[in-house]
Amino acid sequence: MTKSGTHHLSPTKIFLRGLAISLPTILTIVILLWLGSLLNTYIISPTNSTVKFVFAQFIDHSVPLDQLVDLPEGPSLPFCDHNYRVTAELQKEYLQQWKIARQNSTDEIPTETQREWLRLTDVFVVMDNRAVPYIDYEEVSRYIPKSRMPVTHTGLYMELVVARHFPGYFHLSAIAICLLIVLIYMLGRFVTVRIGAWFIGKFETLVISSLPVVRNVYGSIKQVTDFLFSENQIEVRKVVAFQYPSKGIWSLGFVTGESLLDIAGEAGEPCVSILVPTSPMPMTGYTMSVPKSETIDLNITVDQAFQFIVSCGVLVPPQQKVTPEELEKRLAEKQTEQEKEPSNNPA
């Protein structure tokens, strides 16, 4: 009775087989998390901050400090202690209550009683060069830890936007992304109009081109983005192989078009531009100009070529699998073709 195939494998090989099965899933999750982190850091978070900043301008009830006065012997308040000021009217009423209470009692006045004398709508917490209503400050303080409390009045109202008007950051992010999509769409509509394209062209010519470092970076990025998002997408004409980096070593590439005139003139024959992707990440690669006579057309599709590259040559298309019979047949066909070619020797 034959033993199972796994009985002949060492523990190392069994472990490697398990790793081969689990690694694609693990790498996929890692890459998706990495992309999600980049998306959140460079798109979602800045968009959220912009939306919160805009909303904060509409609900900002802060006032200049010179419109408020200090409250002598005032009670400490939750979340801000004594770091607050009040209106002149409230100060007058409070001091009057204090005077009456001191006349009627020699005992120390409880803090709770002092707080009852305060109309919290007339109490403002000092932040940077302005003061915000205590009720707004308290609302934010109840859901944000003290270590993360904003130090500016604008930052406080940006957090108040979430606390008061949104159930959470997820809903804010969803709205922010929707607004961003609408903004990009409107920008696209503006650019498609002749005056919009003229305005963008003038901006690039008069502003961007006058900045020495920025114009180089902007120009390179614009070329890439125009290339990626152009309606005329990259046309991969065919998949070819050619000997590179040395004779006898074959590389696979995609023909994207004709090469440069100077290169063809130097080579003495037409050349083609070939995009040579790298394994296992075909998103990167390099462009080469190769004489047409030094390339051979491959009977595979672009998708099959990408699978071959990503798998580092493991996934071979069915029609390209090498068997002794197919190889012998192909060699015989090649020999027959060579025999049919006219001899270069004189008769």
Distance CA 280, CA 326 (A): 28
Distance CA 96, CA 88 (A): 12
Domain boundaries, given as residue ranges, for the chain: 17-59+154-181, 63-142, 193-229, 238-319
Comparing 195 with 265, the larger pLDDT belongs to 265
Name the region of 308 (left: φ>0; alpha: ψ -120 to 50; beta: rest).
alpha
Whole-number percent of the chain with pLDDT over 70: 91
pLDDT of 280 over the 90 cut: no
Residue 73 near residue 98, CB atoms below 8 Å: yes
Burial class (CB in 10 A: 0-12, 13-18, 19+), 133: middle
Could you tell me which of 26, 133, 148 has the C-alpha nearest to residue 84?
133
**75-115 residue pLDDT tens:** 999 999 999 999 999 999 999 988 888 888 767 788 888 88
pLDDT of 232 over the 70 cut: no
Whether the predicted model's global pTM rises above the 0.75 cut: no
| 151 secondary structure, DSSP code | S
257 bridge partner residues? 273
CB atoms within 10 A of CB 88: 11
pLDDT of 304 over the 70 cut: yes
Check residue 57 and give its pLDDT.
Answer: 93
Q: Mean pLDDT throughout 231-237?
A: 59
**CATH of the domain spanning 238-319, picked from 2.30.30, 3.30.43, 2.60.40, 3.10.620:** 2.30.30
* Residue with the two structure tokens 């590389």: 251
pLDDT of 215 over the 80 cut: no
Distance CA 280, CA 128 (A): 54
**30-56 residue pLDDT tens:** 888 998 898 888 888 888 888 889 989
Strands 285-291 and 238-243: unpaired
| 3 secondary structure, DSSP code | P
> What does pLDDT average to over the chain?
84
- Sheet containing 295-297: order of strands: 285-291, 271-277, 250-258, 238-243, 295-297
Comparing 105 with 279, the larger pLDDT belongs to 279
Q: Mean pLDDT throughout 278-287?
A: 79
| DSSP string of 11-78, one letter each residue | HHHHHHHHHHHHHHHHHHHHHHHHHHHHHIIIIIHHHHHHHHHHHHHHH---EEGGG-B--TTPPPBT
Check residue 347 and give its pLDDT.
Answer: 45
Predicted confidence band at 234 (pLDDT cuts at 50, 70, 90)? low
Q: Mean pLDDT throughout 280-289?
A: 80
The token pair at 21 is 């099965």
Residue 62 near residue 127, CB atoms below 8 Å: yes
Check residue 123 and give its pLDDT.
Answer: 94
Check residue 157 and give its pLDDT.
Answer: 93
Which CB contacts under 8 angstroms, 24+ apart, belong to 178-185? 179/47, 179/51, 180/43, 180/47
Distance CA 63, CA 278 (A): 61
Distance CA 131, CA 181 (A): 36
Cα angle 163-52-172, degrees, rounded to a multiple of 5: 65
Check residue 224 and give its pLDDT.
Answer: 64
Predicted confidence band at 326 (pLDDT cuts at 50, 70, 90)? confident
Q: Mean pLDDT throughout 251-262?
A: 90
| 300 contacts: CB under 8 Å, gap ≥ 6 | 239, 308, 317, 319, 320
pLDDT of 1 over the 50 cut: no
Check residue 143 and give its pLDDT.
Answer: 85
Comparing 2 with 91, the larger pLDDT belongs to 91
**163-201 residue pLDDT tens:** 888 877 778 788 888 888 888 888 888 877 777 778 888
Least confident of 1-5, 208-212, 302-306: 1-5
The token pair at 230 is 């152009």
* Residue with the two structure tokens 């650019």: 191
pLDDT of 134 over the 90 cut: yes
pLDDT of 7 over the 80 cut: no
Amino acid identity for residue 152 in this structure: T
Residue 84 near residue 125, CB atoms below 8 Å: yes
Strands 238-243 and 250-258: antiparallel
